[in-house]
Amino acid sequence: MLIFILILLVLVIVVVAIIKFEIHPFLALFTGAILYGLLAGMPNALIISSITEGFGGVLGRIGLLILFGVIIGTFLEKSGGAFVIAKKVLSWVGEKSVMLGMMITGYISSIPVFGDSAFIMLNPINKSLSFKGKLPYAATTVALTLGITATHSLVPPTPGPIAAAGILEADLGRIILFGAIISALGLIPCYYFCKYWVSNIHLEPAFAKVDKLGYSGKSPSLGKSFMPIVIPLLLIILSSIAAYPTKPFGENHLTALILFIGNPIIALLLGAFLAFSLPEKLDKKILSSSGWFGEALLIGAPVILITGAGGVFGKMLQNSGIADQISGLMSTGHWSLFLPFAMAFALKSAQGSSTVALVTTASIMVPLMPTLGLDSEVMRVFTVLATGAGAIAVSHANDSFFWAMTQLSGMNIKQGYQSHSLGTLILSITSMVIIFLMASLLA
């Protein structure tokens, strides 16, 4: 029982440090891991080895994945490529279906682009189209935020799901495939929530000119804009199929090539190079430390460091022998999926960041996987997805995305809770139910 009290104590200290004292999550997680090791009575040498192995092991697997994903998203955002995708999706669904269009646009845009950035970029379009279509602005806004939230927590190459997949050594191709399906299905009740509940919230938008976020060059074509997103995802999924035990493509040079270019690191590297073609003119300034590339490094660095600190925390728990302490706690893997869901849900609600919730929960789950019956290849995938579902909710006043949404849309706090916050709760629970049902059928 003592070890559970220690874990709870350290997690409370970490969350309070992040929320109350505004300490950076990297420092809070890293220090919390060392504190846990000391309180658990681990030998000094084991604490040091847990730090080096945990940090280096995790970043060796996923540090580059996070970085390449951020580079792709930054170039899409800065070049106007994401804006082109958004306008095309909206033209497909029509101005009279703005609510559905904004949800689909947010769903697609948030796969490579951070949630806050995606909303800032798309909200001017949302304002204009809701006015033209004479639709409730609050409803179209929340449809957009929920579409963004769904893929932000469930579909790589968003940093959180990539980090969780790397920490738990889950197949990234399956996570992309299942995550896309689950997040899409999870948005169905959210659409009706927006249509019948949020539509009753009166919100008068202050209109702003829709532009390309300050980019002065010519926007890339639709096909060119889609390539950095679609090609890496297809390569990763194709590689996962090729790696099946049944060897569907046989054992030959083509299969070897597919496995190589479909490796997530190589696939996302190719995606990053494709993203370099998005600006009208690629000059050395864009790739410099003060240009778009340098900005991507600044965005990605904190996420990578937080992920590394989470790896230290997980390794510290693993080396403390926690798995032996909970042996027999849960006997069936399907029900065990609710443990990572509940942990990520609590962490997200407490400190606001979905990425921190994903990384921390995945790190804690590493030593628990075998005893919870979650260490098979398929259950590792569903564990990552259950963690992502938990990290969706609840988005409220401690979440930067909540403030971006309310301030840019003109909502007050009460309206934000009644619409966006409640919507994330519906999306989270719906996604978890779908995950449980899929795991029961496929595992």
Size of the chain, expressed as the number of residues it contains: 443
Question: pLDDT at position 241, please?
Answer: 82
For residue 220, what is the DSSP state?
P
Residue 323's pLDDT band (cuts 50, 70, 90): low
Percent of the chain exceeding pLDDT 70 equals: 90
Residue-level pLDDT at 154? 94
What average pLDDT does the segment 152-171 reach? 88
Q: Residue 381 has what pLDDT? A: 95
Residue 15 pLDDT > 70, yes or no? Answer: yes
Task: Say if residue 324's pLDDT is above 60.
Answer: no
- The pLDDT assigned to 327 comes to 43
Amino acid letter, residue 71: I
Task: Specify the range with the lowest mean pLDDT, choosing from 54-58, 111-115, 341-345.
Answer: 111-115
pLDDT at 398: 67
Cβ-Cβ contacts under 8 Å for 326 (sequence gap 6 or more) = 368, 371, 372
Q: What would the mean pLDDT of 50-54 be, rounded to a whole number? A: 90
pLDDT of 93 above 80: no
334 — pLDDT class (breaks 50, 70, 90): low
CA triple 384-168-187, angle to 5 deg: 10
pTM over 0.85: no
Residue 251: strand, helix, or coil = coil
What mean pLDDT is reported for the chain?
84
Residue 325: the pLDDT is 59
Q: Which pLDDT does position 380 carry in this prediction?
A: 94
Contact partners, residue 207, CB within 8 Å, separation at least 6: 127, 128, 131
Residue 84 has pLDDT above 50, yes or no: yes
| Cα separation, 200 vs 142, whole angstroms | 12
Quickly state the pLDDT bin for 205 (edges 50, 70, 90). Answer: low
Rounded (5°) CA angle 25-397-295: 50
Residue 243 has pLDDT above 90, yes or no: no
- In the chain, the N- to C-terminal Cα span, in Å, equals 31
**Confidence category of residue 209, pLDDT binned at 50, 70, 90:** very low
